[in-house]
Chain A
Amino acid sequence: MQLRDTLVQAAKAVKTQPLRSGLIVLAMSIGVAAVCVLTALGDSARQYVVNEFEALGTHLLIVLPGRNETTGGHPPVFGETPRDLTLDDAGALLKIRHIAAMAPVAVGSAPISAGRLERETNIMGSTHALLRVRHLSVEQGRFLPESAIDSEMPVCVIGRTIREELFARRPAIGQWLRINDRRFRVIGVLAAEGQSIGVGFDELVIVPVAAAMALFDSHSLFRILIETPSDSAMRKAQAEVRQLIQMRHEGEDDITIITQDSVVGTFDKILGALTLTVTGIAAVSLTVAGVLVMNVMLVSVSQRTAEIGLLKALGATRNQVLGLFLSEAALLSCAGALLGAIIGQLGLVILAWAYPEFPVSLPVWAWLAAVWVALATGLIFGVLPARKAAKLDPVNALSRR
């Protein structure tokens, strides 16, 4: 028997039992579709978060005041230290060669008002460099001007939500905005950012850092963001920043430096593991489908005993009979895998249509993997019935005993 004959025979066997074959294909396709959709969801979530982090800027170093000695514990993300990171510290960092841009950040909350409208919101103090470091874009007007780090110029840039709430229909640019007891001229409106990780820029007012510190009567920076030109410069900059601050802080190493890589890496790992778990759970359904394939093939072997006997009597070898049944299983699971992949893609298209802001896409490898796993499942669970068929004694089989 040639390969073609084997396949034709198998296909005919599949065709004679359309309902049964259809159900196996359905079961297999449910499993494959589930694996496809869940992998795509998990992977897209991972991609989304990683992109969000990368949108914060490339080669970013974050310098925080304070340091915990316990390794593994989380860094002092907020809280106070006896020795502050000051504006002078930040200014001194500019001497380091490996730094492309440096933005000091002070954060606080205060009531803001324009006209008769008032609300409380977060105020961020920073410099012109923030635009570059955080990859912000300005929709109207301009960002904070490039001026000395300690300039208290009374200007501010506001987020989208603030603009809508305080200046509803009026143009915001050029208006005065009162922040607590000081007045700032609105010179820019940020483009909508959506919820970026950490800070919602839409509900933020950005003022020059020195003005923010005066506003809050504080000398301490919340953190310093540093952009370095390359990966290798990032390592060097990290060491030099630590050294410089230690020197300025009378020999005390009291800052924490977080690299963006490490944060992204951690999230990447966590979300990757999550995707694997979810996929694994969905893959259990493939096993169930495999059991079904085995079951139905066993039934079909016992029903087709006479046929097998005849084949053998005509001189078919064990291997040929084995091949015949295996290719039937393979055909079924192949069809199931393809149908499942199509259903999965359909599901993803529907998801993409329903949630346009969350991009879902199935990586090609996952698609191929799901199809291959389905095929392998079918074959593995097809082996037992096929062997049973191959082992049948031709005389007994012909007499249907």
Chain B
Amino acid sequence: MFWQDSAKFALRSIVSHKQRSLLTALGLIIGIAAVVILTSIGRGVHHFVLGEFTQFGTRLIAVYPGKTTTFGLSGATISTVRPLSQDDAASLAGIEQIEAVVPVVQGNALVEAGQRQRRTTILGVGPAVPQVWKIDLEIGRFLPDDSFNSPRAFAVLGSKMRKELFGSTNPLGQRIRIGNDRFRVAGVMQTKGQILGFDLDDTVYIPAGKALELFDRQGVMEIDVLYSDQARAEDVERAIKRRLIMRHGSEDFTLISQNQMLEKMDSVLNVLTMAVAALGSISLLVGSVGILTVMSIAVSERVTEIGLLRAIGADKSTIFRLFLGEAVLLSAAGGVGGLVLGIALVVLAGLFVPALPVQLAGSYLLGAFFVSVFIGIATGVVPAIKAANLNPLQALRAE
């Protein structure tokens, strides 16, 4: 028998039991669609989170005071006997591959402008914030390029702070009060929205030196370093380490590069996608049991037919091919159906629930299809062998 004949034969037997074939395929369709949808959500979340992280750019290294081995909140961010100073930041800025540094002091204080007050986050930073954190100004300019030690009392507002304190009036040049100090508004930042739960718009930026005075602190909480795109992260890290060890006498700081963070996030999120794909595969497994069942029913129903085929000269391998072909065809149809259904649902979800990050995961789509074909082969083999091994005489006499 030619393979075209085999295919035709298998197709005909599938079509002759429309309802049964449809229901069998339906089992797989649901399973494949579940995998497609779940992996799309997984991939969507993946992209969403990585996007949030890379908003600040990828050429960043953060330097924290203190060296602790435990992951999590280091006590050094709050107090330490070996603080990182603004001079450290200034010294790092002198390293060749480093384009800009931002010392960071974070705190919480009451901000007053005229009659209005608001309690909010204060970020004590350096003038390079727009460059390092990739945030642009809406109006005015950022903190002036003062020397680190004698900063002038300028403040820059996040967009939400501007709305809360000044409404629609022009804030540039106005005076605001933070704690007991007075600041002049130099600019307003563009809306950035929440980043990992931290609202950059509800923030006031002041010079780090002023923030240290305001909060009566000895050292900064973090120094963010932006390195040039020609430099390699490892070289920059080594240079930072060398410079700070030279200044402090020992390695009493911790470096975390954006790349490390991204890699870690990436692997965590990949595991997540794989986990949901595995969850969806449970229904694929059940669907494959369905194909096994229906194929074994088909073999037992068509014993006479098999006998006849053998009697007119079809050999064992032809029978085997026929039944296996039927199983594969059935599962491939289920796979295609599942892909179509899954993709349609993902596209619909993307249209109607834009807040839900979904993204079709190409490799998983392909994988799902091949899994469905594989299921057809795996579950078709046993019934096909059974069919092929039937004794032609007995099979003909079976009815």
The yes or no answer to A184 lying at the interface (CB within 8 A) is no
Is chain A's binding surface mostly helix, strand, loop or mixed? mixed
For A109, A216, A298, the residue with the greatest tally of chain B CB atoms inside 10 Å of its CB is: A109
CB atoms of A30 and B106 under 8 A apart: no
A34 beta carbon closer than 8 Å to chain B: yes
Most-contacted residue by chain B among A124, A285, A294 (CB, 10 A): A285
Is A150 interfacial (CB-CB < 8 Å)? Answer: no
A108 to B289, CA, bound (A): 59
Q: For residue A254, which residues in chain B have a CB less than 8 angstroms away from its CB?
A: 110, 119
Contact B121 A79 (CB under 8 A): yes
Q: How far is the CB of A290 from chain B (nearest CB, A)?
A: 9
Q: How far is the CB of B9 from chain A (nearest CB, A)?
A: 20
> Beta-carbon contacts of B58-85 to A below 8 Å, as 1s and 0s?
0000000111111011111111111000
Complex contact B24–A109 (CB within 8 A): no
In the A-B complex, the 6 residue pairs with the smallest Cβ-Cβ separation, listed nearest first, are A66-B108, A108-B79, A80-B215, A109-B76, A80-B107, A82-B179
Knowing A79-B108, A82-B109 are in contact, say whether A123-B75 is a contact too (CB < 8 A): yes
Q: Give, as a whole number of angstroms, the nearest-CB distance from A136 to chain B.
A: 17
Q: How many residues of chain A have a CB within 8 Å of chain B?
A: 67
A residues near B81, Cβ cutoff 8 Å: 108-111, 180-181, 215-216
Assuming the contacts A111-B252, A295-B23, asked whether A27 and B290 have C-beta atoms less than 8 A apart, the reply is yes
Question: Could you say which residues of chain B place their CB within 8 Å of the CB of A219?
Answer: 216
The residue that A294 contacts in the complex, of B23, B198, B199, B216, with Cβ under 8 A, is B23
- Of B20, B68, B178, the contact of A295 (CB 8 Å cutoff): B20
Give 15 CB contacts A-B under 8 Å.
A66-B119, A68-B108, A68-B202, A69-B118, A80-B217, A108-B79, A200-B70, A203-B68, A203-B70, A216-B81, A282-B279, A284-B283, A292-B23, A292-B287, A299-B294
A373 at interface, CB cutoff 8 A: no
Q: A31-B283, A78-B73, A200-B70 are known; give 8 further A-B pairs, CB within 8 A.
A: A20-B297, A27-B290, A78-B77, A82-B214, A203-B68, A203-B69, A288-B290, A291-B26
Q: Is B34 an interface residue (CB 8 A)?
A: yes
Partner among B34, B108, B297, B301 whose Cβ is within 8 Å of the Cβ of A281: B34
Of the candidates A81, A123, A287, A296, the one whose C-beta lies within 8 Å of that of B293 is: A296
B366 within 8 A of A: no
Q: Mark A24-35, 1 if CB is under 8 A from B, else 0.
A: 101100110010
Nearest CB of chain A from residue B218's CB, rounded to whole Å: 7
Q: B residues within 8 Å of A by Cβ?
A: 19-20, 23-24, 26-27, 30-31, 34, 38, 65-70, 72-82, 105-110, 118-121, 178-180, 197-199, 202, 211, 214-218, 221, 252, 276, 279-280, 282-283, 285-287, 289-290, 292-294, 296-297, 301
**Inter-chain contact B105/A109, CB cutoff 8 Å:** no
**How long is the Cα–Cα vector from A298 to B293 in the complex, in angstroms?**
13
Task: Give complex CA distance A220, B216 in Å.
Answer: 10
B13 to chain A, nearest CB (A): 14
User: A-B contact count, CB below 8 Å?
Assistant: 200
Are the CB atoms of B109 and A81 closer together than 8 Å?
A: yes
Residues of A within 8 A of B79 (CB): 106-109, 216, 218
Q: Chain A's nearest CB lies how many Å from the CB of B213?
A: 10
Distance (whole angstroms) from the CB of B46 to the closest CB of chain A: 17
CA distance A65 to B67 in the complex (A): 25
Contact of B296 among A23, A76, A294 (CB under 8 A): A23
Q: Do B283 and A20 have beta carbons less than 8 Å apart?
A: no
What's the least CB distance linking B275 to chain A, in Å? 9
**Residues of B close to A95: CB separation below 8 A:** none
Query: Once bound together, how far apart are the Cα atoms of A20 and B221, in whole Å?
Result: 68
**A75 CB to closest chain B CB, in angstroms?**
9
What's the Cα separation between A85 and B34 when bound, in Å? 53
- Min CB distance, A159 to chain B, in Å? 11
- Is the beta-carbon distance between B26 and A111 smaller than 8 angstroms? no
Contact B119 A69, beta carbon cutoff 8 Å: yes
Asked if residues A292 and B27 are in contact (CB atoms below 8 Å), the reply is yes
Interface contact B108-A80, CB-CB below 8 Å = yes
- B119 cross-chain contacts in A, Cβ below 8 A: 66-69, 254
8 Å CB contacts to B: which residues of A272-331? 278, 281-282, 284-285, 287-289, 291-292, 294-296, 298-299, 303
Residue of B nearest to A197 (CB): B72
Most chain A CB inside 10 Å of its own CB: which residue of B68, B82, B180, B290: B290
A343 to chain B, nearest CB (A): 12
A2 to B282, CA, bound (A): 39
- Which residue in chain A gives the minimum CB-CB distance to B213? A82
Residue in B closest to A122 when the chains form the complex, CB atoms: B75
List of A residues within 8 angstroms of B34 by Cβ: 281, 284
Give the chain A neighbours of B70 by CB distance below 8 A.
122, 200, 203
A216 x B80 contact (CB < 8 A): yes
Chain A contacts for B80, CB-based, 8 A: 108-110, 216
A19 lies within 8 A of B296 (CB): yes
